[in-house]
Structure 1
Amino acid sequence: VYTSDLVWDAAARTLTDTATGAVYAPDDRGNFVSADGDRLAAGWYVNVGFDNFVRAFTDRAYAGPLLQVGAWTFAFAILTVLTSFGLGLLFAMIYNDPRVRGRKVLRTVFILPYAFPAFMSALLWRGMLNAEFGVVNEWFLLGADVNWLGDPWLAKLAIFWVNLWLSYPYWFLVTTGALQAVPSETLEAARVDGAGRSRQFRSITLPLLLVSTAPLAIASFAFNFNNFTIIFMLTGGGPAFRGASVPMGSTDILISAIYQI
């Protein structure tokens, strides 16, 4: 058991070191300083060993929310990569068709969300999803009372939507370039052999795309695994878990939960 050498004198409001006899009095900066200028360090070291790690997995009020946050972090990162890649690829295939008019203008419009700072977009969407005055409820849902950011599942859905809005232009750009790099001779040969569009996509286009985009998908997963900005700016990690011993919320990911703690 740790025993401090410092003794508190309530009347004099000083600390006395019983080992050295030095007396420490508070100064105007909140520090305890002796007559010779020696300053006490704030607090003292106590060896806790693995107690905090044991508590993290045995205390239900702590372990339960922590496990939920961990599972949500993986789900958020994986689903964000899959959905943004799929939507970006869909738009890339549509606007890679030479029969589409105004492709250059439309491509510019579709990458605009990527040009805005993520924190600014998150704040704008936070206002638009406001339950009382938000544009989404007032205009698009005809005044419906939907608490987008106050319900755990709706808040997660809102995060998915906003992050998809921010992420798909990146994959739109990447897959557009990758599609244009697919050899036209290979597709023509497959067409001559009787392969339809779906078979060409499954057997030629998609495998060639994955060769060039797989490393980027891994990097995108790592980015979204630690995507603090979208979580903090949109929901602040809330709504909070009930009965949790630490300030964690339903939409917190690991990095935002650590920040909250």
Structure 2
Amino acid sequence: MKKGIVFMIVLLFVSAGSVFADFREDEKPVVLIHADTAYTLSQGEWSLDLVGPVTYGILDTLHVGTNFWVWFLQVPNVYGKWNVIQENDVFPALSIGGLFGMFQQKTTAEGTSEEIKATFMLYTGAVYASKKVTEQLYLNGSFSYGKLDITLENESGEQLSMEKMVNDLFGTTDTFGLSIASLGLAYELSKGARLMAEAIGLIHERSTNFLISPGIEWGIGDIFRLKLAVTVWTGDTPFYAPYINAKWRLK
């Protein structure tokens, strides 16, 4: 309870101080709290996210990036988003995107000297739709599907899919797959602060859970962005956690 009160005080302080900050005039919300929007970085723009990817705008409608921190775990990964249809007075912006990462590890089978190579591959595909409804209000929706493939290979080249083994064991068909649907909004309180809120559904073959996240993004000049939020998990054991992120947008 005390942590929640402290966090709300900080949130109100940041909201009050946001009048002294400023977003760029052409700056749209590329990411809400956890979910991406259909908007992309402009050409030549960098985004350095403290807990997320390092992203670069190749074109005004295409950016690519990688999650820097995951490389410390020796997991190469690449992320991208392409604004296929740009927003106009009638239609929203529509984008597609995805992420791919791979990790390999070798181990020795228990009780033998045979070497086993485990390959982990994570990939996601997503579609995004975003619309600026008024001068202050943005609406966003997205849907993504992600999957983790784990393959074991022995010295003879024989392969075993962990998912097939688990599916056979539990009678499932998509044990390592997860769909994510989100609805969200961003509302500009001032030139330097955006109120954000999103609801996310985590849809698995065996269960569905929801996350609700209200928060605020605070702009400090043309470069620094600070984001504070609360994420509420509404599963069998509900809980909440504060979310803090910082970002540098360089152009």
TM over 0.5: no
Higher relative contact order (CA 8 A, sep 6+): 1
TM-score of the pair, normalised by structure 1 = 0.20
- Between Structure 1 and Structure 2, the one with more strand by share is 2
